[in-house]
Each structure stands twice: as structure tokens, then as C-alpha cells.
Copies of this chain bind each other. A is one copy, B any other.
């Protein structure tokens, strides 16, 4: 059963305050309440309050963040919604599959991030995600309203939660290897690891900052796919530090 209290809905730079309010309402109808707003264009705003309707409590306790890092602090599983096709493919699930996967997760803090109304999530933001969630839609017109996308995701999560009506029609949950005795890494620590990794690759002359190709993107994809444990992040950073020390010694000779 999904504990809806552990799920954050993160809106990245929403332009229209009405969509913020409508998202709060969508969340509350499905039993969610953790709303995070990353640099909204207008907020607070009368239109947000109006569209929130009876979900003004969700809106009132929404967490206003300067950047995505802040919104993902403490989060161990990040899912990014996306309508666009990408060059470098990313592990992709439907909302239903995502809900099934979360249902079979051990306790963790989960974030669904939703991009800007016009342009969605940037590639850099998508790289923060373990999975991309694609809402199946009309290939000729896939332009879901932001709050409508929030509604659909919350709906699928809600069906897997304890408060929902049971429905025998639900698909089997996706098998997911459990590692119950180990804690997943906090996303902030994973992000620090990526910064460290990039610096170390420069130090050992593997990555040329003037011609980075898709190196970091590929490595992020690899490590995000595996969902690092806290202890593994420390181990990998230890290796990076050792490699950097060799590079320093080589340089200083």
C-alpha cells in the first residue's frame, strides 16, 4: 500500500497560478497533500486560491523552493513526467506502472516532478530522475494541462493507497528487487556525488570540459538506474578521492 503522505508533487516553474491551485485540488481529491513549488512565476495569487477550491489547506502548506535541489531534499526516489521524446532514452513507465513500482518499494520519500507548462522539464532536470513517467496520450495532441497530469498521477497513486476503494481489475505489481536492510541515498548526496564525479573525471583528464560529449549524462543515467544506496555513494566518492589524489601527485611531480 502506498502511503500518500510520503509522496511529493513538485511543480517546476509553473507559469499559471491557476494551475497551482488546480493541482492542489487534484492532489487533495486523491488524498495527497505534499505540494512543492520551485520558483513559480506568480505565487501566492488569487487565481491559485480560487482554483484550489476546498484544497486551500494543501495550498497553504505548499513548500516554496528556490531550486529543484531544495524540493528534492530528503527524497530517495524521483520520477519525472514528460510528454516529449528524448534523444537518449530514459527508463520509462506509465503512471500505472509507476504506482505499482512505488507500491512495492520499501519505505521511502518519493517525488513526482512536473515541468513547465510550455517546455516541460529540461534535460538536466530529467537527469535527476530515476524514471521518466509518460502518460499515454493522443500522439497527435499530447498537450495535457499541468493540473490534469497531476490529477492522473495522483489518481493512479491513490488507487494503490490504503484509503481507495478496492478494485480487482488492477494489474499485478511490478517486480522490484527489494533491499530492505539498506537505505537509499538522499538525492542531495547523489547530486554531490555527480558533481564530485565530474570534477574527478576532469582531474584525471578523462573528461574535457570544452568537449564534454554526453559523458555525464550517460553516467548519470547509469547510476540513477541502479538507485544507489547511501553506503555506495560513500564508497564511490572514496574511489573518486583516491583517483584525484593520484592525479594531484602526477601533476605535482
Contact = CB atoms under 8 A, between A and B. Distances in A.
B249 A235 contact: no
User: For the side of the interface on A, what is the size category?
Assistant: 35 or more
Given A26-B148, A136-B158, A177 B91 contact: yes
A166 B136 contact: yes
A31 B143 CA distance: 11
B29 A169 contact: no
A29 B246 contact: no
B247 A235 contact: no
A60 interface: no
B143 A25 contact: yes
Query: What is the total number of copies of this protein in its complex?
Result: 2
A138 B174 contact: no
Interface in A72-91: 89-91
A240 to B, nearest CB: 9
Contacts of A151: 144-145, 148, 151-152
A209 interface: no
Contacts of A136: 155, 158-159, 164-167
B243 A253 contact: no
A124 to B, nearest CB: 19
19 contacts: A55-B141, A91-B174, A91-B177, A93-B170, A93-B177, A96-B167, A134-B165, A135-B155, A136-B155, A136-B159, A136-B166, A173-B175, A205-B242, A206-B242, A206-B243, A218-B232, A225-B226, A243-B247, A246-B250
Interface of A: 22, 25-26, 28-31, 51, 53-55, 89-94, 96-97, 100-101, 131, 134-139, 141-145, 147-148, 151-152, 155, 158-159, 163-167, 169-182, 201, 203-206, 215, 218-219, 222-223, 225-226, 228, 231-232, 235, 238-239, 242-243, 245-247, 249-250, 252-253
Given A201-B239, A203-B246, 14 more contacts: A51-B145, A54-B143, A89-B182, A90-B179, A96-B167, A96-B170, A97-B174, A100-B169, A136-B164, A151-B151, A152-B152, A177-B225, A218-B231, A246-B246
